[in-house]
Chains A and B, each alone.
Chain A
Amino acid sequence: MAPTALQARRLEVSLSGRPVLHGLDLDIAAGEWTSIIGPNGAGKSTLLKGLAGLLPAAGRVDLLGHPLHSLPARTRALQMAWLGQNESTGDDLKVWDVAMLGRLPHQSWLSASSLEDHAAVEQALRCTQAWEWRERALGQLSAGERQRVLLARALTVQAQVLLMDEPLANLDPPHQADWLQLVRSLVAQGRTVVSVLHEISMALHADTMVVMAQGRITHHGPCSDAQTHRAVEQVFDQRLAIHALAGQWVAIPSNI
């Protein structure tokens, strides 16, 4: 049994007084890629934010064996990186400066950035092929290019655990494939990746899948498992079917 990176017990979250997550229990294995899928409004993003400690929540979340609420904000930030969706972006910041923000948890308030910070930023920007634009303002980039810069920002934290909400938003297929490769290399280095994905076929590349519907987890199992596939088809009302194609699992719409 792999050690646990994130453990949630009776996790409950309400947004504007409406319960969104109903007492979830979840163990996310360390050194694996877990993808969370489910129909719109299932509570996927809320679960991810709850795991990241970015929402007021009842219940308990442990990060690498420590209760999240008792961790100092900086320690938590060093251990867990976050990539959100549709957040406002500092259009006037240069790409380099945006990526450097990922180093904030490593720096003290007034200190200048170190050589290590510079190396981390360069590595992340090269990794997401955003290095060429490092002197450009974020506002001058297309949505897909911007997404790659924000991904680089999350990578520069160099955290053990990475949480990503819709990381493929606005990415074209070649860059989706690059992302896939990146996640695999992160997992190979022993990092834990948790992603919320709408692209079921991409999500099926993960090690483990969490299937959600109406604020509850309906299934949690390996992506290659037939039971997982049935659970996915079920939460989408059998309107998609999972097939093997050229050595991969793909989800295709049924009843067209």
Chain B
Amino acid sequence: MSAPELRLALILLLLSTALVLLGVCVGSVGFEDLLGPLLHPQTDPDQSALAAQIVWDIRLPRTIGAWTAGALLGLAGAVAQGLFRNPLADPYLLGSASGAALGVALALLAMGGAAGMLGGTMMSAGVTFSVYSGSLLVRLGLTGAAFVGAILAVLLTLVLSRGVQHTLRLLLAGVVVGVVLGAATQLVLLFSPESLQAMQSFMLGSTAFAGWAACGLMGAVWLLGVSIACALGRALDGLSLGETTARSLGLPVAILRMVLIGVLAIATGTAVAQTGLIAFVGLAAPHLVRSVLSTGYRWLIVLASLMGAVLLMAADVLARWLIAPQELPVGVVTAVLGGAYLLWLMHRNTVAQGAA
């Protein structure tokens, strides 16, 4: 029964592997310059150590970071679309993005110059080790602030919508929270113009600062989220038949929604905290899977995760390669590609309807 699903999963895993290799190779020091010293450390120990450092400390964690962040966004997108029974639902719908942004803005305000410096380096291609390690504390602070902001914003949305019972109220509350927190962020930035640049790099999203710790955290959250969501896959299928039918099947709808919103909030919050606001991956990943095959949520959740991971890794490689040696913020690449994809989807639907 699940042969097409398995095939797509294998294809996505193969693509992931290829992209990891590509991600390790793309940069100012090319593949040949890395491979030689790595394979023959005895010829030039210094060169070999540098090559290992480039691969192990920068490119690999960043590439794996893009994979895990993409997987988290794909997972969150699939859960959001199932939960709200809306194919246009986005993981950022419950206000988590604006909450994270406000958290980062407040943290930047509190930390002042140090964080501003970080933002400056984030935009440039050559991130040196001293800046990276020196700003680790700042980075952790920003990550924590984004995470707390995202979770608090989702909780605020839940309070405003008075629970998870009414989809429409939930979506409206999410919009209200998004607008109000967005305004608050602008206000904070008005008082600390020096953090504008750092803020901008957060708003555009970047995988440049994902270290092994971030990869581990995102990987663990993804594993947990994907296990919970898969276990609830059949229940999500039931929910897609409408709430009344779901309840008639004995499904505890309110508890289900609570758990799924929890998964959604933590997955989005973790990804946003590590990589900033990356647009469209969460929206496009489940769509892309659905355009290839029809399947239940159990598979959709796994496949949308893998699809999100591949999308973000591909976008990350593109972002580093397009204007090398400079690099684009990855969020810009996903926004342009995602926007183009949605336009194409609209065009295809219009054509299909015209033909029908």
Contacts and interface: CB of A to CB of B under 8 A. Distances in A.
Chain A: number of interface residues, binned into ranges = 35 or more
Contacts of B85: 88
A94 interface: yes
Max chain B C-beta neighbours (<10 A), residue from A76, A78, A90, A94 = A90
A221 interface: no
Contacts of B240: 88-90, 92-93
Interface string A146-175: 000010010001000000000000000000
Interface string B121-134: 00000000000000
Given A49-B244, A88-B242, A101 B294 contact: no
Interface in B228-243: 231, 234-235, 237-238, 240-242
A82 B244 contact: yes
Contacts, number: 80
Contacts of B290: 92
Interface in A90-111: 90, 92-94, 96-98, 101-102, 104-105, 107, 109-110
Contact of B234 (A84, A104, A153): A104
A73 interface: yes
Contacts of A139: 294
Contacts of A97: 237, 296
B242 A101 contact: no
A49 B1 CA distance: 35
Contacts of B41: none
A55 to B, nearest CB: 9
Contact of B249 (A49, A101, A109): A101
A81 B248 contact: yes
B120 interface: no
A5 to B, nearest CB: 16
A87 B241 contact: yes
Contacts of A84: 242, 244-245, 248
23 contacts: A54-B247, A54-B248, A74-B250, A77-B248, A77-B250, A80-B248, A82-B244, A82-B248, A84-B242, A87-B244, A88-B240, A90-B237, A92-B290, A92-B300, A94-B295, A97-B296, A98-B241, A101-B238, A104-B235, A104-B250, A105-B249, A105-B250, A153-B241
B252 interface: yes
B250 A76 contact: yes
A94 B238 contact: no
Interface of B: 1, 85, 231, 234-235, 237-238, 240-242, 244-245, 247-252, 290, 294-296, 300
A197 interface: no
A105 to B, nearest CB: 5
Contact of A94 (B248, B250, B252, B294): B294
B239 to A, nearest CB: 8
Contacts of A89: 240-242
Contacts of A157: 249
A232 interface: no
A178 to B, nearest CB: 22
A47 B236 CA distance: 27
B251 A104 contact: yes
- Indicate the member of A77, A93, A94 with the most B CB atoms within 10 Å: A93
Nearest to A74: B250
Given A101-B234, A104-B238, A93 B248 contact: no
